[in-house]
Structure 1
């Protein structure tokens, strides 16, 4: 399945718009991750424990969004975006876009010799 952040896909025509699709998760860190990350934050720089959680969260929400798009009969998602928010000590991650059916544009035949 093709997923793009643009409203169209070069070389393809959108033949059907199936509507908005999304994937959502809400995550928290476990005690050990939060404790270790707290110490790391004192020195500044990247906090690998939180980076791992965000990568996993984005992967999960993308898969959920793609599953919803496939269930609707889509073969692409356009205008895909990520959104994040905090709810207390929890982090919400959402991926959303528009499920569409696309077909390749006709390729012109080479000139006859």
Structure 2
């Protein structure tokens, strides 16, 4: 699913946007395990990174991105522009949303236009 261009900008260098296919989303909610929650409580007292929690956030982010890419591909998109994240934490875990606008693009530098 890596054959789709994902950018945070509204334009892509050397490409023209030829169609707007609408917004796309990738959602996931990951639960925390007991050890991570306990570690978070202890780290709140002494300070420092909670590595298990950081890994949970990273995994959730990557899963959300892949789901967003899949959604864009299902719409026939070549790219996803204006890519953003939204996240929230609760006692049970973290929710992450990756979102953007699915578009069709044309390469302006290609000789096969």
- TM-score band w.r.t. shorter chain: 0.7 to 0.9
Cα-Cα RMSD = 1.6
**Preserved CA contact (<8 Å) 1:22 1:65:** yes
Aligned length: 108
Query: Map of 1:94-113 to 2, 5 A cutoff?
Result: 94-106=97-109
Which consecutive segments of 4 or more residues in structure 1 shift more than 6 A? none
If the length of structure 1 is used for normalisation, what is the TM-score? 0.87
Q: Highest Rg: 1 or 2?
A: 1
In structure 1, the residue matched to 2:21 is 18
In structure 2, stretches of 5+ residues that fail to align are none
If the length of structure 2 is used for normalisation, what is the TM-score? 0.87
1:79 aligns with 2:82: yes
Equivalent of 1:56 in 51, 59, 63: 59
